[in-house]
């Protein structure tokens, strides 16, 4: 594997080092990978899509993440976006490494000694002049997206100069809560950044609120896309399961159900799956976008709350509709089921994926299949436990409504005969419920991690 010399820099992909005049220049792993990609493809302009596929292949991020990465690399190289020496922005396309004298050589044992990059002094008049303008920048309220990016760049510079000193100088000046939140969030993209505590500092509640708002705002587009994808995925899974169940029910000997029931159950499956998927995915994605620690617990809680809220809404609306329109009063699954299935989906997803800085996980290939399978198994097991506790899911609710409605042909008793029961008994209920949960989890997981 070769290494590259350009200007005062040596870039070694094998050793994962960027060295300038014997001093190592720190970059977080993804930013290092981006620089390597641009240098390797220096003879052409790299499209944004190709960059995302190469550098962020396992995660969904917004365009601002790429802009931030380029900005950090330029700062490390001492480059100027207005008169670029190394990286040029190609409008509506991407970026290109434009330094003409790149020497490609074997990365052998001969390697100049490297030292950590020197840090600017943290005391004295020079430090005051360096810190204060940046602290003023991150302490004021941003009026637009451009100012938000300027604030983030200022926060990254403060981390490079010294996180502890920046926090000491920040103190409790006006705007310190939002500034501390920005420093806390940007430390994940700043190599060598120190810790940014919240609870032990002034105004911890205001800082936490500012941090949540900041992360939600930056992740809004990603969260919206995942919410929509999961809703569609779970809806399609529900429609397929409903249609298949209706066809099987209509084809069984002794069944009075018409084949048209398959279309009806497909619509019901779509509505239930889409609504449940939207709730679970919204809670899960928001929790994952906001949290940086205790990810598993946060994802489980978020998915459970999202599923429960939607479940209770569906339970109330469904019960009121049946009672008002047809005078039928039956127990309808919803809130408790939403909490349980949501928690199971969150658990399966969290176990199968790792926290990724700067975005939300989007595994591919076999990793995505394993994640979907684990989520499906978790949801299927949760559905079994709910059935054992006497809680109805979609199939059980449809059967209860059919039994309470005169002349209904949608009872699921014929399905019970497939497993040796005289009617829709505990075994057939368990089988149907487990299938419902597994199919829902599968569709949810695949939709949640679909890359557009």
State yes or no: pLDDT of 111 exceeds 70. no
State yes or no: pLDDT of 88 exceeds 90. yes
From the CB of residue 431, how many other CB atoms can be counted at a distance below 10 Å?
A: 17
The residue that leads in pLDDT, 50 or 224, is: 50
pLDDT tens string 231-245: 999 999 999 999 999
**pTM, entire model:** 0.73
Q: Burial of 101 by CB count in 10 Å (0-12 exposed, 13-18 middle, 19+ buried)?
A: exposed
| 364-378 mean pLDDT | 92
Q: pLDDT-based confidence at 359, cuts 50/70/90?
A: low
Measuring CA to CA, how many Å separate 332 from each of 239, 324, 394, 413, 448?
19, 15, 8, 18, 27
pLDDT tens string 274-325: 999 999 999 998 888 777 678 899 999 999 999 999 999 999 998 888 888 8
Rounded Cα–Cα distance for residues 98 and 332 (Å): 64
Specify the CATH number of the domain 2-108.
1.10.10.10
- Please give the pLDDT value at position 452: 65
Residue (of 117, 125, 201) closest to 159 by Cα position: 117
Question: With pLDDT > 70 as the criterion, what percentage of the chain qualifies?
Answer: 92
- Please give the pLDDT value at position 334: 86
pLDDT tens string 20-37: 888 888 888 888 999 999
Q: pLDDT-based confidence at 192, cuts 50/70/90?
A: confident
pLDDT tens string 403-431: 888 778 778 888 888 888 888 889 999 99
């Amino acid at each position: 594997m070769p290494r590259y010399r350009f200007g005062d820099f040596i870039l070694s992909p094998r050793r994962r080092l960027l060295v300038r005049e014997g001093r190592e220049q720190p970059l977080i792993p993804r930013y290092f990978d981006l620089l390597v990609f641009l240098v390797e493809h220096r003879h052409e302009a790299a499209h944004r899509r190709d960059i995302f596929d190469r550098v962020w292949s396992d995660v969904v991020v917004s365009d601002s993440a790429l802009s931030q990465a380029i900005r950090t690399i330029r700062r490390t190289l001492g480059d100027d976006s207005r008169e670029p020496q190394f990286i040029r922005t190609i409008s509506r396309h991407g970026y290109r490494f434009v330094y003409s004298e790149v020497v490609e050589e074997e990365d052998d044992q001969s390697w100049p000694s490297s030292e950590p990059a020197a840090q600017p002094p943290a005391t004295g008049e020079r430090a005051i002049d360096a810190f204060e303008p940046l602290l003023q920048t991150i302490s004021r309220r941003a009026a637009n997206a451009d100012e938000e990016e300027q604030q983030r760049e200022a926060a990254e510079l403060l981390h490079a100069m010294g996180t502890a000193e920046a926090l000491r100088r920040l103190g409790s000046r006006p705007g310190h809560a939002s500034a501390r939140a920005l420093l806390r969030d940007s430390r994940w993209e700043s190599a060598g950044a120190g810790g940014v505590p919240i609870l032990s500092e002034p105004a911890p509640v205001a800082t936490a609120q500012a941090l949540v708002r900041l992360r939600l705002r930056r992740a809004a587009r990603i969260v919206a896309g995942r919410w929509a994808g999961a809703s569609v995925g779970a809806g399609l899974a529900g429609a397929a399961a409903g249609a298949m169940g209706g066809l099987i029910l209509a084809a069984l000997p002794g069944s009075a159900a018409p084949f048209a029931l398959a279309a009806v159950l497909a619509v019901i499956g779509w509505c239930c799956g889409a609504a449940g998927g939207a709730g679970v995915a919204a809670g899960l994605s928001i929790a994952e976008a906001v949290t940086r620690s205790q990810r598993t617990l946060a994802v489980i809680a978020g998915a459970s709350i999202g599923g429960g809220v939607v479940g209770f809404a569906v339970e109330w609306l469904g019960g009121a509709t049946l009672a008002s329109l047809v005078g039928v009063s039956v127990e309808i699954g919803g809130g408790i089921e939403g909490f349980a299935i949501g928690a199971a989906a969150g658990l399966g997803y969290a176990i199968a994926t790792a926290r990724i800085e700067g975005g939300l996980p989007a595994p591919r290939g076999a990793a995505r299949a394993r994640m979907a399978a684990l989520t499906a198994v978790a949801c299927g097991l949760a559905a079994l436990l709910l059935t054992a506790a006497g809680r109805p899911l979609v199939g059980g609710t449809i059967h209860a409504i059919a039994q309470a409605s005169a002349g209904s042909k949608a009872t699921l008793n014929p399905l019970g005969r497939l497993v040796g029961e005289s009617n829709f008994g505990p075994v057939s209920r368990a089988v149907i419920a487990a299938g419902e949960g597994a199919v829902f989890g599968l569709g949810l997981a695949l939709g949640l991690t679909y890359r557009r």
